[in-house]
Structure 1
Amino acid sequence: MLKFFFLLLAILFNIASADDYLFTFCSNSKNYTRNSTFENNLKQLLVSLPSNTSVTGFYNTSIGDHSSDQVYTQALCRGDVNSTICQACIEKAGQHILEQCKREDAIIWYELCQVRYSFQRFFSSMIYAGKYIDLNDNNEEIISDRVRFREVMLFLMNSLSYEAAYDPSKRMFVTGEVKYSSKETIYGLVQCTRDISNSSCDNCLKSAIGDLKACCSSRNRGIIVSRNCNVRFDLNLFYNASSSLLAYPTSKDDQKIELALLHDIASPTRVAITQEGELVSSVEPFFMDLATIRSATDEFSDSNKLGKGGFGTVYKGVLPEGKEVAVKRLSRKSWQGLEEFKNEVILIAKLQHRNLVKLLGCGIEGEEKLLVYEVLQFTFTHDSMNLDISIEFSDSERRSQLDWKTCYNIIGGIAKGLLYLHEDSRLKIIHRDLKPSNVLLDQEMVAKISDFGMARIFCENQNMANTKRVVGTYGYMAPEYAMEGVFSVKSDVFSFGVILLEIISGKRNSGFYRTEHAQTLLAYAWRLWCEGKVLEFVDCILMESCWTSEIVRCIHIGLLCVQEDPEDRPNMSSVVTLLGSESIALPEPKHPAFAVARFIQIDEFLETIPSINDLSLSSISPQ
């Protein structure tokens, strides 16, 4: 009981009061005129703020009929204070800012609240400019192991900032603690103004934590305040809110990667459904320990091996609760493997769609980098296995069990998955390595795009990008990407067109030059199209079950997708529309890419490279 009493005293001693003033920022805007309409409006709003803010802890409003007298105000109370303390703090701050500043734009911070006003609208906008607050003169650099302290402190603050930005239930305010040593705990707090977006809150907190690292990573406490967010840590408990105890990862390398992933995933659990029911519930990926994954895959036994790619091997596994999964074990010594691991986790966590493979979890421990996916089962025999369409369309026995309807649905599924990546998700994603082995099939033969290690995010208004490091797979890269390093949504459209033509013909574009038909599958399709013999392009197995007009239309769409000029290719929304409607007229295709002599020189060059299928693409080296 006595111990509890002293603990309570310590908490009360460190908890701030409404009178704990921090700082006032008066901008370089002009002074407002004494007794002007602007000043009267400002005073009126400041009087109304305390009671209105105390209801929810946040409030903004404006007043004024003309631009010269308009005033915008905003107030925020720290998330751990009650309405009485909140109201008292806002009232004190409102009075204080009038005394301290006569500018038309200003903000004042107390430990428990902040008040801001301006002559121009600032609601919902985030412009970061952080201010370090020196809390007292005794804040000495007393940390002995500064490196470890900085890492643990940043782990705490980054973890809290992710939760504040993307967990709606937190209302952009989170506290937490982590053990720094057996005797010391670091306490942390982060908060954003609730008028900004999740991503703006995330960006603001990232910047503030960066400033916190610069000023205070060897101090026993630190605080950064800004217009839209505030962050603080202390070795003494300073808040009055329930908080979670975080466990600091034991491996420094694991911690760095997990923090980067945790901070960049930015994907709250959610459920979203389109009119066609295409979107699925999104469950945030979680970190799994190596022992669990080793046990699930029987120590990565060869009997559980499903396949091998350029960056690692895929194993079938069974989790302790009986759930079947596919585990991708990335190459242990590959830097490319590490980059692919981080890229894939971050991207797939943000993307959820019926035609995209679902990431269930991930693990990082030492040199081990593991991705855990839903297992996609399809049974042609009595064995369950992860199946990709490259297996389907190269295995004559299995292909003989396919009909046109199934193939048509697979084509449509790939198209819808790409459309989601390009236009319908909250990000604009370019896959960059779309090929048959990266399209998996589930038990109902639903196509699911996988392998996002090479994918890239585009800004909302960005149409293309250029890279000196071309990555991808020979036979599926658009010419502008293979030759010049330029990629866009249209380069993915090209890859889709190649896959579509491969599905219909039952033949691979890669290695097609060894046949007597043409230098490429695309050139062969174009020749038959021009000669009016396009049905000769269709696999005889599909001819038995297809509608002639429908399959010819699909070939037509495929040729449009593989045009030499990216501008001549349709976007994926047009492709999905064209696949779903026979009434829409199609433009005449032109010469497809790689249907000319210059491609022969590349083929001749590639023939000199040994073990061509085992190479990763760097510059123009096929995988």
Structure 2
Amino acid sequence: MPTSLCTGSTAEPPKCPHSTPTTMLVLFLLLVATSVSLPAPAAGVDEGALPVTNDFSRSCGSTSNPRFYEPNSTFAANLKLMFAALPKNASASGGGFSAGAFGRAPDTAYGLALCRGDYTGDACASCLAREFKDAGSLCGYSKDVTVYHDQCHVRFHDRDFLAGAGNAPEIFAPNMNNVSRGNVAAFDILVARLVNAVADRASAARSRYATGQAGFDVTPDKVNVYGQAQCTPDLAPAQCRGCLAGIIGQMPRLLSGRLGGRILGVRCHFRYEKEIFFSTGDGNMVTVTPLVSSSTGSRSSSSSTLWIVAIVVPLTVLLCGFSACFLWMRQRRRRATNLSSGRVGMASMSMEMEQVLKLWKNEESDSEFSLYDFDQIADATRNFSNDYKLGQGGFGPVYKGELSGGLEIAIKRLSSCSVQGLMEFKTEIQLIAKLQHTNLVRLLGCCVQAEEKMLIYEYMHNKSLDCFIFDSAKGAILNWERRFRIIDGIAQGLLYMHKHSRLRVIHRDLKASNILLDRDMNPKISDFGLARIFCSNVTEANTTRVVGTHGYIAPEYASEGLFSTKSDVFSFGVLLLEIISGKRTAGFYQYGKFFNLTGYAYQLWQEAKWHEMVDPVLGEDYPVAAVMKCVQVALLCVQDSADDRPNMWDVVAMLGSEGLTLPEPRQPAYFNVRISSFPESTSSFGEMSYISSVTLTDEDGR
């Protein structure tokens, strides 16, 4: 069996039997063999930074706060189900990946299994089954176990690590052989080019797996270098590339000069070697231009090189120094101009933002969040060209951009005079580090320069949900299967915000235009500028300033300023009715005797005519029972009393169950507000006409 390391294990070491000279000799030889088989750490490496792996390695959770389960516990039974299901699912999927949650809280077991991209079918299932067997026995009943192997790796945990894109625990393994001392710099450059090229290909591939090769022909080291990179397929391209960039950035510290090495993580990993170690398959590998040395390296050429270096390097340093001084002086001049022009308010806001960013950095230093330069964003949007403009929000325009590395981004540029925009800006930055879920849009970073404040998001290729469900032509793209996947994804995202994230978060502005769709039409909840953070033991709060969008606001929030998770449940129910019907609830549209979609849907439900509200573009080829259940769930969510509404845990359970008897929905909010209750001369402000001191936005306002 290959040598293994168990980082963080708290189990007692086995006690030695009665010692004899023969026993001592055997132990000595085993110790020598073990020390020979372990790879040596790279020169200058901080050996405490990452554990070193050989053929496989395992992590047994935290040493400071270890958690264990009993062999006959419910958690152990859930693990058994996981160990049987995930290898089978990963093999059957064709992608070698499977993840999921097994059992109910508080004994839920979360697991992930991934095979290397060239390791499929029965071989993948066998590798994962073996690793899960090791995972269940090597760490003494720990609830947090990760096992890495050459061809696959597995992880299980009693906490929901699947909700985010974290890569921990990460390990590294250097090859024992080095390149010649004089070739270290050139070799590191080649390997970095190779690994980054393979990472680019992997993040763009549907499988999130890619391989590559490059030649190094610099005397005396003449080798081919082969590279491989992979992410879990559930990561978006930007998430995958960001994850790989994080571990590739550790190469100079951990793998410099090594003829091979790898850094492995739960969500992404890479490896390079001087011998090919993967199946070439269809041969579709990235090829990097090789580095070649001159075959006639004479003393004169070496001398010429030295002279060139001696002249060019000092000149370059001088030019850089002059450039730095010039930029510094220009920046000081700009600041002086801003102060002299009386922009004291903006200066104070910038100081406030600086404090927010500093606080965020201190608390969340391990999160993937970047601070972008203004010039970098201006270049990405062609100086904020109208051709790159995606839309106009309530607090500023939104642009599409493309960074120099090819990463597509979306930029929300806040209006310089908007104080409310500043509050949203701060809220999103403070929230984003605590919200990481596949159904929440990912904030990549921000740009703060003088009065300019911009939020940088991952780009969603299909824009927002309202572009499809309220358009008869585009709506036809969303068959019922896709619509239900969107419904379920939104519900999962809300459940995470309400229950599973580090803090309880209430969105307060859930609507169709705030649901973004990625390339595969997966939903992402966006725009957390109006969100409120609760401590885990707080369930509701009051406010004198009601914010949100007409048609989606719960009645207790609109009339009393009382908001809770049930406020989001109400908005979800309205959104669910919109997805089913293709009709807008916001605005002033007449549905039968109602100005609101909720009242119209409830009347049809009472008359057993709910099918009349189903979007006509779905035709008659839809699963009647499934759609009927979604209508019933939606009506349960929009009930007038917040106490009658289900929480998101119940909503997810109802949507995912078959054969479950659901309660009969009671009267929805605003049901008594009908067209007949208004004189003909009255302006049609529908159900919201009685509300005062409410800050509302149009449906497409943000």
Query: For the residues of structure 2 that align with 1:356 and 1:442, how far apart are their CA atoms?
Result: 11
1:457 Cα offset (Å) = 0.4
1:259 Cα offset (Å) = 2.2
1:287 Cα offset (Å) = 1.3
Residue in structure 2 matched with residue 260 of structure 1 by the alignment: 356
Aligned amino acid, residue 673 of structure 2: A
TM-score (norm 1): 0.54
Q: 1:139-188 CA deviation, whole Å, 9 max, x = no partner?
A: xxxxxxxxxxxxxxxxxxxxxxxxxxxx999xxxxxxxxxxxxxxxxxxx
Q: Does 1:619 align with 2:694?
A: yes
Equivalent of residue 481 in structure 1, options 550, 557, 574: 557
1:262 Cα offset (Å) = 2.9
Taking a change above 3 Å as real, the CA distance of residues 539 and 501 of structure 1, as seen in their structure-2 partners, is: same
1:546 Cα offset (Å) = 1.7
Query: What are the residue-to-residue correspondences of 1:557-568 with 2, within 5 Å?
Result: 557-568=633-644
Q: 1:106-153 CA deviation, whole Å, 9 max, x = no partner?
A: xxxxxxxxxxxxxxxxxxxxxxxxxxxxxxxxxxxxxxxxxxxxxxxx
Residue in structure 2 matched with residue 316 of structure 1 by the alignment: 400
Question: Any unmatched runs of 5+ in structure 1?
Answer: 1-55, 61-166, 170-246, 271-282, 379-386
Residue in structure 1 matched with residue 482 of structure 2 by the alignment: 406
Residue in structure 2 matched with residue 397 of structure 1 by the alignment: 473
Equivalent of residue 385 in structure 2, options 301, 310, 319: 301
Query: For the residues of structure 2 that align with 1:310 and 1:510, how far apart are their CA atoms?
Result: 16
Query: For the residues of structure 2 that align with 1:602 and 1:573, how far apart are their CA atoms?
Result: 43
Provide the secondary structure at the position in 1 that maps to 2:453: strand
1:404 Cα offset (Å) = 0.2
Taking a change above 3 Å as real, the CA distance of residues 577 and 515 of structure 1, as seen in their structure-2 partners, is: closer
Aligned amino acid, residue 340 of structure 1: E
Q: Does 1:581 align with 2:657?
A: yes
1:598 Cα offset (Å) = 8.1
Equivalent of residue 528 in structure 1, options 575, 597, 604: 604
Provide the secondary structure at the position in 2 that maps to 1:307: strand
Provide the secondary structure at the position in 1 that maps to 2:586: coil
Taking a change above 3 Å as real, the CA distance of residues 605 and 338 of structure 1, as seen in their structure-2 partners, is: farther
Equivalent of residue 335 in structure 1, options 388, 398, 419: 419
Aligned amino acid, residue 386 of structure 2: D
1:467 Cα offset (Å) = 0.5
- Aligned partners of 1:433 and 1:473 also within 8 Å: yes
Query: For the residues of structure 2 that align with 1:608 and 1:461, how far apart are their CA atoms?
Result: 37
Q: Does 1:441 align with 2:517?
A: yes
Aligned amino acid, residue 300 of structure 1: F
Q: Does 1:538 align with 2:614?
A: yes
Aligned amino acid, residue 465 of structure 1: A
- Aligned partners of 2:545 and 2:695 also within 8 Å: no
Aligned amino acid, residue 475 of structure 2: R
Query: For the residues of structure 1 that align with 2:362 and 2:651, how far apart are their CA atoms?
Result: 30
Aligned amino acid, residue 694 of structure 2: S
Residue in structure 2 matched with residue 495 of structure 1 by the alignment: 571
1:286 Cα offset (Å) = 1.9
- Aligned partners of 1:512 and 1:521 also within 8 Å: no
Residue in structure 2 matched with residue 361 of structure 1 by the alignment: 445
1:497 Cα offset (Å) = 0.3
Residue in structure 2 matched with residue 461 of structure 1 by the alignment: 537
Residue in structure 1 matched with residue 279 of structure 2 by the alignment: none
- Aligned partners of 2:401 and 2:411 also within 8 Å: yes
Alignment identity in percent? Answer: 49
Aligned amino acid, residue 447 of structure 2: G
1:309 Cα offset (Å) = 1.3
- Aligned partners of 1:482 and 1:620 also within 8 Å: no
Equivalent of residue 547 in structure 1, options 590, 607, 623: 623
Query: For the residues of structure 1 that align with 2:501 and 2:653, how far apart are their CA atoms?
Result: 18
Equivalent of residue 351 in structure 1, options 425, 435, 456: 435
Provide the secondary structure at the position in 2 that maps to 1:331: coil
Taking a change above 3 Å as real, the CA distance of residues 285 and 603 of structure 1, as seen in their structure-2 partners, is: farther
Taking a change above 3 Å as real, the CA distance of residues 501 and 542 of structure 1, as seen in their structure-2 partners, is: same
- Aligned partners of 1:266 and 1:350 also within 8 Å: no
Q: Does 1:424 align with 2:500?
A: yes
Query: For the residues of structure 1 that align with 2:360 and 2:680, how far apart are their CA atoms?
Result: 40
Q: Does 1:596 align with 2:680?
A: no
1:514 Cα offset (Å) = 3.1
RMSD of the TM alignment (CA)?
3.1
Aligned amino acid, residue 494 of structure 2: L
Taking a change above 3 Å as real, the CA distance of residues 454 and 552 of structure 1, as seen in their structure-2 partners, is: same
1:619 Cα offset (Å) = 1.4
- Aligned partners of 1:477 and 1:494 also within 8 Å: yes
Taking a change above 3 Å as real, the CA distance of residues 545 and 604 of structure 1, as seen in their structure-2 partners, is: farther
- Aligned partners of 1:562 and 1:569 also within 8 Å: yes
Query: For the residues of structure 1 that align with 2:487 and 2:659, how far apart are their CA atoms?
Result: 19
Residue in structure 2 matched with residue 376 of structure 1 by the alignment: 460
Provide the secondary structure at the position in 1 that maps to 2:433: helix
Query: What are the residue-to-residue correspondences of 1:28-67 with 2, within 5 Å?
Result: none
1:366 Cα offset (Å) = 1.6
Query: What are the residue-to-residue correspondences of 1:52-451 with 2, within 5 Å?
Result: 253=348, 254-264=350-360, 268=364, 283-378=367-462, 387-451=463-527
After alignment, is 516-525 or 429-438 more displaced? 516-525
1:307 Cα offset (Å) = 1.1
1:459 Cα offset (Å) = 1.3
How many residues are paired up? 356
Residue in structure 1 matched with residue 99 of structure 2 by the alignment: none
Taking a change above 3 Å as real, the CA distance of residues 538 and 284 of structure 1, as seen in their structure-2 partners, is: same
Residue in structure 2 matched with residue 241 of structure 1 by the alignment: none
Query: For the residues of structure 1 that align with 2:436 and 2:670, how far apart are their CA atoms?
Result: 34
Q: Does 1:505 align with 2:581?
A: yes
Query: For the residues of structure 2 that align with 1:339 and 1:602, how far apart are their CA atoms?
Result: 41
Aligned amino acid, residue 297 of structure 1: T
1:264 Cα offset (Å) = 4.1
